[in-house]
Amino acid sequence: MDPLHLNTQAVHAGYTIEKEFGSVSQPIILSTTFERENGVPREHIYTRSENPNRISLETKLAILEGGADAIAFASGQAAAYAAFQAILEPGAHVLIPDDCYHGIRSLLSQVYLGWQINAEEVDMSAVSNVADAIRPETKLIWIETPTNPKLKIFDIQAIAKLGAEKGITVACDNTWATPFFQRPFELGCDLVMHSTTKYFGGHSDILGGALILKEKGTLSTRLRSIQSAGGGVPSPFDCWLLNRSLATFPLRMPVHASNAQVLAQFLHGKPAIERVYYPGLPSHPNHEVAKAQMQHGFGGMLSIEVKGGKEKAIQLAEHLQIFAHATSLGGVESLIEHRRTAEGANPRSPDNLLRISVGIEFIGDLVADFEQALGKL
């Protein structure tokens, strides 16, 4: 048989029907501890170290992303936290995108304050900026593409090549693109990070994160021990729920992308809209790179800048009826957010920027909603 298609793996990977009851849906094993036989542990010992539902989830995540090992965490931030702990050391130099998920930026500057990490922000849209920023003490290049919230596109393959030449670990936060649209391992990355809270979960009801490794080795062993000893693990129920959501992941993604493409085209050039950020628009400055490194579309996220500043932007968000004005992304329902408000103490987003997570509703209804809301401005 040929290797199984992504859609089949998304349904079946990580679980074979158990023998005792023949449960087609995997049972949720809530027990935190497991009986030993003659004093010898059987497969499982204690749920912080491993649990049947978590093993199933990790198996599926590794397969979907095309990696050798996946390590699940209680949130995307917990996953990034573990990656920084495993790869960095006090005083380390790390390159992060200048437009980066704000939580990652504040993790490095605030939570790791005592480590004096030198996190240098680089506009990775030009690979030469990355080359120029690399130093002998650079330990990690952290890519996020498309970026949050300006949807900048970085050439993963070119950046990963620079990292490989200098022996620097290259990680990619693939939360927005997901392996459906973008395959960082095939482009040379060593590590992929996910907030599984977003498209993998897909229904705005599970918090989770994961690190996926291209190869098993020193780094995966170290991360596994941080997961177990650090204890930032997802519950069996969260793992089960995420496993269930992943079954429909490859079916949801094309709808997110085609809806986002149509909405971006509709908003592009509207008199009330100053700017549309979407990598699927030919006017996007790195559209060609996006076309080359993404497949099946350009994802379900876009941002817009509204003419008339913050006030008009908030008005537009409030006039929308289908789009909920809320943070987060990747769920089946469409969301819109005044991003600067959500960025806490050190906001970076322009005051008139709205970030849109396009859901899987009927696109005609989403466009009509914008049409009526724009009409009220």
173 binds ligand PLP (CB under 6 A): yes
Residue among 29 and 206 whose Cβ is closer to ligand PLP? 206
Cis amide bond preceding 282, omega within 30: no
Q: Cβ(102)–Cβ(348) under 8 Å? A: yes
Nearer to ligand PLP, 197 or 204 (CB): 197
Residue 277 found at the interface with ligand PLP (CB under 6 A): no
48 belongs to the catalytic site: yes
Is-contact 179 302, C-beta < 8 A?
no
**Selection from 262, 246, 224 nearest residue 358 by Cα:** 262
Give min distance, CB of 81 to ligand PLP, in A. 9
> Which among 69, 173, 190, 238 is annotated as catalytic?
173
Which of 75/243 has CB closer to ligand PLP?
75
The residues in 98-127 that bind ligand PLP, with binding defined as CB under 6 A, are 101, 103
**According to CB under 6 A, which one of 197, 258, 293, 349 is a site residue for ligand PLP?**
197
Which residues does 97 contact at the CB level (< 8 Å), separation at least 6?
121, 122, 123, 124, 142, 143, 144, 145, 147, 152, 154
In this structure, are residues 214 and 164 in contact, taking their beta carbons and an 8 Å threshold? Answer: no
Contact 357, 328 (CB under 8 A): yes
Phi and psi angles of residue 335, each rounded to the nearest 5 degrees, phi first: -125, 155
- Is-catalytic flag, 348? no
Q: What is the nearest approach in angstroms of ligand PLP to the Cβ of residue 176? A: 6
Looking at 81, 101, 199, 278, which residue is catalytic?
Answer: 101
Q: Catalytic site residue 135?
A: no
Is 81 an active-site residue?
no
229: left (phi over 0), alpha (psi -120 to 50) or beta: alpha
**6-25 footprint of ligand PLP as x/- string (CB under 6 A):** --------------------
Report residue 255 as tokens: 């709808």
The residue range among 193-201, 226-234, 250-258, 269-277 that interacts with ligand PLP, by the rule CB under 6 A, is: 193-201
CB nearer to ligand PLP: give 105 or 284.
105
Of residues 52, 97, 209, 331, which one binds ligand PLP by CB under 6 A? 209
Reported residue count of the chain is 377
In whole angstroms, how far apart are CA 341 and each of 12, 99, 269, 345, 374?
Answer: 41, 16, 26, 10, 21
Among positions 138, 175, 293, 349, the unique one binding ligand PLP when judged by CB under 6 A: 175
Indicate which residues carry an active-site annotation. Answer: 48, 101, 173, 198
Residues found near ligand PLP in the complex (CB under 6 A): 75-77, 101, 103, 144, 148, 173, 175-176, 195, 197-198, 207, 209
